[in-house]
Structures are given as C-alpha cells and as structure tokens.
Amino acid sequence: MANFNIDATKERTFQAIVIGSGMSGSWAAKELCEHGVKTLVIERGRDVKHIKDYPTTNMLPYEFEHRGQIPQAVQEENPVVSRCYAFKEDAQHFFVKDKEHPYVQEKPFDWIRGYQVGGKSLLWARQVQRISDLDFEGPSRDGFAVDWPIRYKDIEPWYSHVEKFVGVSGNKDGLPNLPDGEFLPGFPLNVVEQYFADQLKKHYGNDRHMILARCAHITGNLDYYAKQGRAKCQSRNLCQRGCPFGGYFSANSSTIPWAERTGNMTMRTDAVVHSIIYDEEKGKATGVRIVDAHTKELEEYYADVIFVNAAALNTNLILLNSTSNRFPNGLGNDNGLLGKFVAFHNYRAGVSAQYEGHLEYTTQGGRPTSGYFPRFRNLHKQETDFLRGYAAGFSASRGTYSDQNSIGMELKESLLNPDKYGPWHVGSHMMGETIPKESNYVALDPNQKDAWGIPLLKVNVDYDDNDEKMIKDYQEQMTEMFEKAGFTNIRLRDDKRAPGLDIHEMGGVRMGKDPKTSLLNANHQLHSVSNVYVTDGASMTSTATQNPSLTYMAFAARAAHHAMTGLK
C-alpha cells in the first residue's frame, strides 16, 4: 500500500505544471518541453486535435442547417455568448455556453470563453501588433496604475522568437508606436485603403498612419512551417472553424503538437483546477489540485514550478481560490490587490461611410486581415482631456449585388447574375485603451459554486468618464479623417456593448516593481511565491491599445526561460 502511494505520487509529479492550453499556456509548454522539462499541461475542457476535431472545417454553406445562424432557442438560453461576432453555427462548439458555466455579473460583462485544448486560440481574430515603450511607459508618464517593471528591450527578443514560430504576415512600417517584427510577406491593401493611407499622409504628415494590420498567418518561408505540419494561408476566412492547413496560428496546430513531439509533455484534459497547493514549510507552491470534470473527484499533481495561464479572469479565480494559512485571501495576495485593476479594450464605437471614387475598381479573393490605425492620440505628450488613446481597424470593400425588387424569372435572372456595383463601403472600429482601476475587479462569490464546487466569479467592471471622452474623440477624429478623404454618408456607432465582448480582458494579477502595489515581478513570478508564474492577460499592468495575444505569448516564452534557469 505504501509503495502504491509512493508510485502514485511519483506518477503525478512533474518538473513543471502549466494550467491552461491556450495561447499563452501552450507557449509556456512548448518552451519548457523543447528544453527537456517534463511538463504537465492541465486543461479544463476536452481535447481538440488539429484537423480531426474541426468538424465543420470543410463544410459548404448549404450544409449548415440554418446557413450559419444560431437558432432562437439557443440564443435565448445563451444571451452572452450569442453577442459574440464569431458565435455562429460553424464555430459554436468551441464556445462556452452561458448556462454551462455561470458567473455573477455585478455589472454587465460579456465573458467569452473557450474551454478546450487550444482555448480561444482557435477562435481569435489573429491580429498581432507589438506594444512599444510608448505603452510600457504610459502608467508612469500619465500617473495611473503602477509602472511596468519591464520595457520594450526586455520583451523585444521574445516577440521575435514568437513571431518567427507562429508566422506573422505584415509590412515593416518603421513606426515608433508599433515596432516592426519578423514579418512574412504582407497581404495587399486594396485601392481605396491605399488611397486613404495616402490621404492621411497628405493631411497629417507623419502623425497619423493607416497600415496593413499584422496577422498570425503564414504567407512565406513555407519549408520552415512544414516542420510544424502547417502550410500557407489559403485566405479561406473560415479560421474560427479550425484551419486544416494550419494557415493561422492556433495552439492546436502549432505549439501543442510541437510540445507533444518532444515526449516531455503530458496533457491532462477535462480537469478543472480547484487551487494551487502551497507548502508553508517549503515556502513555495508544490502542486495543483484539480476536479475531474466528469467524475468530480479531486486529484493532485505536483511540480517544482507552476505556470498559471488559464486566461485572464480564470487565472484570477484560481489564485483567489488558492487559500492557505499563509495566504488566506488567495495565493500571493499579501496586499489585497489580487483581482483588482482589471481592464479591457473599449470596442464600443465605429464609424462607417461610403466612397464614390475609384469606381472603376473592385476586389477579388479573400484576405484574413485588414487595415490598422496605430494609436496617434497622446503619443508623445498629453494633448487631450482624456488619458491615452485608441487604435482602430479600417477596411474598404466593394462587391456586386443584384436587384431583388421583382419576383419570378426577373428576380431569378437578377440573382444569378449579380452585376451591380454600389459605392465602396469603408468602416472603422475603435480599440481604446482603458485605465486599470481598483474599482474594476473580480472576486469570488462567497455563496454560489459551480458544478465542480468552485466558487463562481463575480465580475464588477465598467466604463468610466475617460472611456466616454475617448469614444467621442474617436468618432470626431475619424469623421474628420473620412471627410478629408472625401468619404460621404458618414455614420457613427456606439453600440453600448458591455465590457468583455472585446475579449481582451486583462489584469488583476498585475506586474510591478513593488510587492506592496503589484502581484508579479519583472519575471512574471508572484512576488511572494517565486515558483508560480502568471504570463497571460492577468499579468498586464496596463492594456495599451494593441491586440494583446502576441504579448502574452512573448511573456510566456520569456518567463519559461527564466523558470528553466531555476530548474537547472
């Protein structure tokens, strides 16, 4: 019996445990396994194997019973996830349904989740922009949150490391606010997007730019990616189904199988993390307690180092639920700030218009990306009545349509031969930086638990006056730029969406220099539990304006290498 227990413990002991198999967790796992570290990856959801588990990936439009639409009853049962743009008939199986995983909204918050191997890396919009020192220096310059303990030079080599492996298509634009990276050939801007970029140069000199957004798609260096079993992006624009070519980066197509091939990775799926085990005598974390998703039995796994990459809010939840005599309020939470200073990206507003020029042109084919405005507001100094600024997406499109006013043969002929061209449609959406505040927090509900006995997460996150002013400025500035470019019929949108729908929730376990005011140090270790690393969105001190996944991946790779120096 004693021997059996020793063996059982041995079987459950690894050098490293990574909680979460998505964007950042899979990167930690890949780096650790590649360097010989025996690693257990814990995933709360089911396994999703590349290609094999993409049931809709090669389905034709007519094969979807509702042609993509989510039935009314499903929408009514799942109002939160139904608001997500990608929750459609072809990808619904990769989203968490509201009913299955409840949480408490003290204020409206649309929490979009993907509980499976690969997490949301199957579903993301694949935009990868680097953040610069103009972002890292933001909190100290503008006096909010706390100073980041790192600068661009610390993360720069890791950005390059990640970009090379995932494959990033883009152009070298030479902008200080959006550093260039390791780019594969960029997709083209269309004739109207290029026209708009030229107009901005004409009217704003070097102050405002509209460039091609960098995206995690393979467009070159094909032999290198063939080693991952991935091929060139085919511009299908069906990414959310999972890509049979591995044309875009997902953990499933890239980092997870790569880690698996080293022989050093063990994957434990269907395992809901209850808490991290803290050993007071050793003064460090020794393992992870999980609840089997199906049997609901508790199990423990042990390791020298633990990475928490459960996606921002669930990382907060796990740490808050990891209580001990030493840490009664959550692991590493000596200052009571765990779960606080949560922030997100403000996606509420958009501006669209028409353009009656370049009418002799149209476009053909597909493209998995669009144009991008890097932040231009308050870049080098404070110049508005709000802090920070916004980036924005931009795209122009034009296609044929058919007159559908008639019926009978006239309608049929018209539908079969769509030969009418309207004006160009141009559109932009804002991606605003929000200011982390103590009053924007997540916490454990003291009474309610989920089906696995884990306390429900309470979310209390809202917009503030700074966000409102920024929306107004974005709409004014975009209108001005559109007018200068000769766009007409300009329409403003503020859809008043709740925070969360941006799917860029961040913070709660922020990095900082001072253990009194932050949770993590410059190496992503909990200040007070140095063998626990947090490298997902929870670690963000401020949000910047850029799509953040690339930064999480770079953080994970960097922290994994830091952890390995300790293991060896």
Binding site residues, other proteins, CB under 8 A: 58, 60-63, 65-67, 69, 71-73, 187-191, 193-194, 234-238, 360-367, 404, 407-409, 411-413, 415-417, 419, 421
Q: How far is the CB of 499 from other proteins (least distance, A)?
A: 27
Report the Cα–Cα distance between both ends of the chain, in Å, rounded.
33
Rounded to whole angstroms, the Cα distance separating 145 from 465 reads 16
Q: Report the residue number, 336 or 418, with the smaller CB distance to other proteins.
A: 418
Q: Give the phi and the psi of residue 148 in degrees, each rounded to 5.
A: -60, 140
Beta strands in 104-166, from DSSP E residues, in sequence order = 104-105
CB of 279 to other proteins, least distance (A): 51
Give the Cα separation of 457 and 4 in Å (integer): 38
Nearer to other proteins, 41 or 200 (CB): 200
d(CA 41, CA 266): 6
Q: Give the residue with the Cβ less far from other proteins, 82 or 518.
A: 82
**Strand 104-105's sheet: what is its strand order?**
104-105, 455-460, 441-449
To the nearest whole angstrom, how small is the minimum distance from the Cβ of residue 493 to other proteins? 24
> Which H or E run contains 166?
helix 152-166
Q: How far is the CB of 368 from other proteins (least distance, A)?
A: 9
Residue placing its CB nearer to other proteins in the complex, 85 or 361: 361
Whichever of 358 and 561 has its CB closer to other proteins, that residue is 358
**d(Cα 245, Cα 157) in Å, to the nearest integer?**
28
Instruction: State in angstroms the smallest separation of the CB of 72 from other proteins.
Output: 6
Residue with smaller CB distance to other proteins, 14 or 196: 196
**Token pair 């990167």: residue:** 27
Q: How far is the CB of 61 from other proteins (least distance, A)?
A: 5
Phi/psi at 43 (nearest 5 deg)? -125, 130
Rank residues 160 and 235 by Cβ distance to other proteins and give the closer one: 235
Q: Which residue, 2 or 416, has its beta carbon nearer to other proteins?
A: 416
Taking the CA atoms of the chain, what radius of gyration do you get in angstroms?
A: 24
Beta partners for residue 272, in sequence order: 291
Give 4's contacts (C-beta < 8 A, 6+ positions apart). Answer: none
Alpha carbon distance 267, 270 (integer Å): 10
Minimum distance of other proteins from residue 66's CB (angstroms)? 6
> 14 is written with which tokens?
């690894």
Whole-angstrom Cα distance, residue 167 to residue 126?
A: 11
Q: Quote the CA–CA distance of 299 and 224 in Å, as a whole number.
A: 40
Token pair 């003064």 in the structure block, residue = 283
C-beta of residue 22 within 8 angstroms of C-beta of residue 123: no
CB of 8 to other proteins, least distance (A): 43
The residue (of 189 and 331) whose beta carbon lies closer to other proteins is 189
- The whole-angstrom separation of Cα 440 and Cα 438 is 5
Q: Give the contacts of 109 (CB within 8 A, at least 6 positions apart).
A: 459, 461, 498, 499, 500
Residue placing its CB nearer to other proteins in the complex, 63 or 480: 63
Answer for the pair 196, 485: CB distance below 8 angstroms, yes or no.
yes
Q: How far is the CB of 115 from other proteins (least distance, A)?
A: 23
Contacts of residue 269, defined as CB under 8 A and 6 or more positions apart, other chains included, come to: 43, 45, 46, 47, 117
Give least dist CB 211 to other proteins, A.
14
- Residue listed under structure tokens 């032999």: 223
State the minimum distance, in angstroms, from the CB of residue 369 to other proteins.
Answer: 9
The residue (of 295 and 364) whose beta carbon lies closer to other proteins is 364
Q: How far is the CB of 188 from other proteins (least distance, A)?
A: 5
Cα(98)–Cα(100) distance, integer angstroms: 6
Between 49 and 67, CB nearer to other proteins: 67
Distances (CA, A) of 527 to 83, 286, 531: 38, 16, 10
Nearer to other proteins, 6 or 415 (CB): 415
DSSP result, 446-468: EEEE-TTSPEEEEEE----HHHH
Least distance (Å) from other proteins to the CB of residue 7? 46
Extract the tokens encoding 132. Answer: 């610069």
Please, what is the Cα angle at 388 between 438 and 336, to 5 degrees?
15
Phi, psi angle pair for 412, to nearest 5°: -60, -45
Q: Shortest Cβ distance from residue 214 to other proteins (Å)?
A: 16
Angle between the N-to-C axes of helices 152-166 and 549-567, in degrees from 0 to 180, rounded to the nearest 10: 100
- Judge whether 540 and 168 are in contact, CB under 8 Å: no
Cβ closer to other proteins: 243 or 265? 243
Nearer to other proteins, 186 or 374 (CB): 186
CB 436 within 8 A of CB 510: yes
Cβ of residue 200: shortest distance to other proteins, in angstroms? 17
